[in-house]
Amino acid sequence: MTDTKLRKIAIVGGSRIPFCRSNSLYADQTNLDMLAAAIQGVTDRFELHGKQIDQVIGGAVTTHSKDFNLAREAVLSTTLSPLTTGITLQQACGTSLTAALMAGAQIASGQIDCAIVAGTDTTSDAPIVFQRKFAQRLIKLGRARSFGQKLGVFKGFSLRELAPQPPKNGEPRTGLSMGQHCERMAKEWSIDRREQDELTLDSHRKAAAAWDAGFFDDLVTPHNGVIRDSIIRPDTTLEKLGSLKPVFDRKNGTLTAGNSTTLTDGAAAVLLASEEWAKANDLPILGWLTHGRTASVDFVNKDEGLLMAPTVAVAEMLTRAGLSLQDFDFYEIHEAFAAQVLCTLRAWESERYCTERLGLDKAMGSIDRAKMNVRGGSVAIGHPFAATGARILGTLGAILEEAGSGRGLISVCTAGGMGVSAIVERD
């Protein structure tokens, strides 16, 4: 009979490259370039050169067809042993946190001893394809044998078919962008413009202070000549933020380019392991990944807020863990939009929402805002979609190590009406 005792999941540490505004400092970089750099950063930091890791799980949201197994190709571009397996995963903005939960479950059950979880994204190298009709013509052309057959492929051809189709920044089911959906949420939860700008300002100040204090020195590996996140604005003010015009609802909106995450290029990776493997390899343990949960909302048929799924994931996770929302020393809540964070917090404070939607007997309550995103959040640091979970996980591990002990909660919203949450603890 096999031993069913679960092992603890150790967070050894992470590494990421600096995050940069899209179409700027990484304009010449591909997802493969950046993912390999982040994994190499972990490899360098923990001296894993030539070592076989049980698996690397990672992915990207905006990919080319040539990136058929991005994680494996990234592994082969590093100094890890080529015997290391690479698995490519995609769950929108939750990709690398979900990768951590999947790898963590395998570590806990004894299937593997270690894993690197990672994510990358770039919109500077977005895949642009032909219209479907022209693409089908090219496929038929490849099958044609005679000159006449080849000529026949182009019967009825129109130059309009050559118009490129860049990736659409919108939900396939609604046609609305994430920002437009978040505007709906902001109106539903009465989130005003000043609240959003205040949260944004706080995020920039915290991120800038963290860089100045040297907090990111071990977490960020220079790449392509870049040594520091390029999006953070330490000199921004409420006045500057308040001068920006709404971008998703120009007439009545409150979401601006300032209080929303900008399109970002970057990558991040984290090394997870069993306690035994970490100790055997003389590696640090920043904390333990103890719980996780994913959830979804129905934003198509019931018009639930697209980015409200983390409220559900966190509530279900805390119920299973036997914890309350206030049982945490740190909260890492992904700032896709400042409004999304504020909607989430307001929902947890709402007795009606918590009882009717979450099935609880009372409101989850408020959190101490001073404990939230203490080293800055996505609205300041940036959001390379699939990389954000790994960035947050590595950051929270470092925060807990710095604190000496504590418990942290992670909440990430994703496209498609999904949310991913996790708990990290340090004894």
Distance CA(4)–CA(110), nearest Å, equals 9
For 180, 208, 241, the CA distances from 195, given in Å and listed in that order, are 18, 20, 11
* Active-site residue identified among 20, 93, 114, 354: 93
The alpha-carbon radius of gyration of the chain (Å, integer) is 22
List, in order, residues 6 or more apart from 276 with CB less than 8 Å away. 7, 113
Other C-beta atoms lying within 10 Å of the C-beta of residue 403: 14
* Residue 320 parent element (H or E): helix 309-321
* Active-site residue identified among 20, 343, 354, 413: 413
Distance CA(184)–CA(425), nearest Å, equals 35
- Give the helix ranges, DSSP H, for 112-192: 132-143, 147-153, 178-188
Closest CA to 98 of 315, 423, 424, 420: 420
93 annotated active-site: yes
For 135, 170, 192, 260, the CA distances from 181, given in Å and listed in that order, are 32, 9, 16, 13
20 annotated active-site: no
Integer distance in angstroms from the first to the last C-alpha of the chain? 32
Distance CA(235)–CA(408), nearest Å, equals 29
- Phi/psi for 227 (5° steps) reads -115, -10
* Active-site residue identified among 181, 223, 291, 383: 383
Q: Which two tokens stand for residue 165?
A: 């189709």
Residue with tokens 């920043």: 286
Closest CA to 391 of 94, 126, 104, 113: 94
354 annotated active-site: no
Closest CA to 120 of 88, 82, 81, 79: 88
Residue with tokens 């395998």: 106
Distance CA(171)–CA(176), nearest Å, equals 6
**Residue 122, helix vs strand vs coil:** coil
Report, as residue numbers or ranges, the catalytic residues. Answer: 93, 383, 413
